[in-house]
Each structure stands twice: as structure tokens, then as C-alpha cells.
Amino acid sequence: MKRKTTKEILAESFRELAELHPVDKITIQEIVDNCDYSPATFYRHFMDKYDLIAWDYVNTT
């Protein structure tokens, strides 16, 4: 079984939140709280939530 990468976990967290809230209302803090990561971990991998969305789109289609 393949382990999920940090980017995949952050993207999954964002998708879960996007089912419940408008995308423009989701904060980085909510994304990282949802998967028990720190904001520093998020910013180590993405510039902002739109960078995460673009990465997720490219890697899931």
C-alpha cells in the first residue's frame, strides 16, 4: 500500500472542507487543523490555497 504524501494529505483536507464551506472562506489554518499539520508545513509545500488547488487539479485529473 502506497503512503500518502504531505501534499496529498493537505489536498484531501482541503477537499473535505470544500464540501462544507465555500472555497473563498476556507483558511490555511482550517486546512492544517483538519489534518493536524502546522501552517509551516503547508507553506513548505504550497504558496497559498490556490497553489494547492492547482496542484490537486493537475495531480487528480
Domain residue extents for the chain: 6-60
**Spatial distance between the Cα atoms of 25 and 50, rounded to a whole number of angstroms:** 12
- pTM recorded for the entire structure: 0.93
Burial class (CB in 10 A: 0-12, 13-18, 19+), 57: exposed
Region label for 39, one of left (φ > 0), alpha (ψ between -120 and 50) or beta (otherwise): alpha
In this structure, what C-alpha cell is assigned to residue 11?
489536498
pLDDT digits 0-9 by tens, 5-60 = 999 999 999 999 999 999 999 999 999 999 999 999 999 999 999 999 999 999 98
Look at residue 40 in the predicted model and tell me its pLDDT. Answer: 98
Question: CATH second-level architecture of 6-60?
Answer: Orthogonal Bundle (1.10)
Look at residue 1 in the predicted model and tell me its pLDDT. Answer: 77
Choose between 42 and 1: higher pLDDT. 42
- Classify residue 61 by its DSSP letter: -
